[in-house]
Amino acid sequence: MTWAVDTLKLDRVRKMMADADLDAIVARTPDNILYLTNYWCMKGYDAVVFPREGEPTLIALEPQMADAERVSWTSDIRPFAGYDPHDPRPPQDRARDLCLAVLKERGLERRVGLELSQGVQAMDRMVGEPTVFSQQWFDAFRAGPGEVIDASGLLARARMIKTDQEIERMRLAQELATLGLEHVNEHLAPGMRCSEVGAMFEGFVHSTGIGYKGQVEMARAFTLVWSGPGIRTFTATGDRPVYEHEPTLMEIWVCADGYWTDLTKNFCPGTLDARYDRLLDMLLGVYHEAIEFAVAGAPLNELDLLIRAGLAKGGYPGQPSHPIGHGVGARAHEPPFAHQADAFTLEKGMVLAIEPGAYWPEGGGLRLEDNYLITEGAAERLGTFRDDFRIA
């Protein structure tokens, strides 16, 4: 989808490159290419040479040239062949050669940043399958005349702060998630299999999302669905039935043209069992306290401690086993990540998924999760679907 050039974020990246004394960054992961050029590749062979000064050069797979020319923020687009009868190597090697040629052509070889510590990729537009680059791919840059450094951290830090355009794109993903959740809420019935519930949500988002408001070209949804005693974190969706008086928990991810939302919502088709009533009341209290805490200047490790202390006070010490918060943007899970070893401070413009959960050893439990834009005042909730699922 065509968007105006997001100069605010690109200028921020260039300022950080100047501070790091980088002439250029060569990015190969689909999420970073999207971030720097607005081009979301179909397969993970593409790359971008992003200079500190001047126009970026996009290295695009030949069959995608029309898409690249239509949506990219740069006019310097160099195609490479997926298959070349005169070159038996894989396509990413031809993309790398073009990157090296551009660096040399533009005099950008002195100090170059690569994603050296970002070993796999976010989802491409095809199947979400990571294309893993070999050590030889990176060594070819080290063989050049200049210095190569790891720019993964620089890009991650830049991406933590969202621009207004990025928030607008994330709101589109949130709107599609809400529509899908409302569809599930309308059709959920006792006895349905968890896999049916997941398929219902995923299919609705995909069919509704493509072309949504004339602003989305590709929409995908992913789910984990558990019900009643089958609610166990880090387990796959199964064929367990939906229970009438116990919750069905849906962990969902929605991607709209490369920007994500990460939510957990619950449903109950009948009157909720009393023990879940008590658990939900406790969890909502911890959740709301965490949301109030999440403002610019708040230490992220203290947010982790706050949530875990609240759960312990409610009778669930040592829970949850999963993280309680992380960034969301051009990945569903991206920095910053909440853990107690790092006193990272929240900043205005970050988007944070906050997700306390409590679970019973024998199976069952609840999790609440939504995405929040960090401001100087109260955090702004980006989602609109209710957390208290006892409310119709």
Q: Which residue has the tokens 């989808």?
A: 1
d(CA 345, CA 115): 24
**Judging by DSSP bridges, how do beta strands 147-150 and 111-114 pair with one another?**
parallel
Sign of the CA dihedral running 25, 118, 89, 46: negative
Domain ranges of the chain: 7-159, 164-381
Pick the closest to residue 60 from 34, 85, 86 (CA basis): 34
d(CA 80, CA 46): 9
The fourth-level CATH superfamily of domain 164-381 is Creatinase/methionine aminopeptidase superfamily (3.90.230.10)
d(CA 121, CA 34): 12
Torsion angle defined by CA atoms of residues 29, 34, 37 and 42, in that order, rounded to the nearest 10 degrees:
80
Class of the CATH domain delimited by 7-159: alpha beta
Q: Which residue has the tokens 């355009």?
A: 165
What token pair was written down for 58? 């996009």
Identical fold at 7-159 and 164-381? no
Question: What is the full per-residue pLDDT of the chain (392 aa) written as tens digits?
Answer: 899 999 999 999 999 999 999 999 999 999 999 999 999 999 889 999 999 999 999 999 999 999 999 999 999 999 999 999 999 999 999 999 999 999 999 999 999 999 998 755 556 777 666 777 888 999 999 998 899 999 999 999 999 999 999 999 999 999 999 999 999 999 999 999 999 999 999 999 999 999 999 999 999 999 999 999 999 999 999 999 999 999 999 999 999 999 999 999 999 999 999 999 999 999 999 999 999 999 999 999 999 999 999 999 999 999 999 999 999 999 999 999 999 998 899 999 999 999 999 999 999 999 999 999 999 899 999 999 999 999 86
From the number of C-beta atoms within 10 Å of its C-beta (0-12, 13-18, 19+), residue 293 rates as: middle
Pick the closest to residue 79 from 105, 108, 41, 116 (CA basis): 41
Q: What pTM did the predictor assign?
A: 0.95
